[in-house]
Amino acid sequence: MMNFNLIGYSIFIGLMVFIIVVVGKICYNNGNVFVAALIPGHLELCKQINKSLLIGYYLVNIGYCAVNLSFWSSIGSWPILVEVIALKMSGIIIILSVLHYLNIFVLTTQVQKLIKQQ
């Protein structure tokens, strides 16, 4: 019986790298404008905050994908391969969206508090 795990790992890693990079670039480019609106007059600080968010985003996602691979069981057929890849990718995408909205919430509430304190 053929083991489809290596094929699944390759497909999963390829798709996840694509999704992580594309979403990271979109969030980074749009985030510059968003963070600059939160902290007017501090453009360089805004750029550094946005870069830090992007680095954290990449590290969290790469780490989660790597850990996720270690929990795969043996895959014995094409239909199960497609199912496992879809489930693993959907879990990561849901986590990405939750983290994105959490970042927006924290930035909008906490940064405004810090600005008002100064």
Using a cut of 0.75, tell me whether the model's pTM lies above it. Answer: yes
Q: How many structural domains is the chain composed of?
A: 1
Q: How far apart are CA 2 and CA 76, in angstroms?
A: 6
Give the count of beta carbons closer than 10 Å to the beta carbon of residue 57: 20
Q: pLDDT tens across 65-104, in order?
A: 999 999 999 999 999 999 999 999 999 899 889 988 998 8
Using 50, 70 and 90 to split pLDDT, how confident is the model at 36?
Answer: confident
Task: List the domain range (segments joined by +) for residue 102.
Answer: 5-117
Q: Is 41 helix (H, G, I), strand (E, B) or coil?
A: coil
pLDDT of residue 8: 96
The confidence score (pLDDT) of residue 1 equals 65
What three-state secondary structure class fits 106?
A: helix
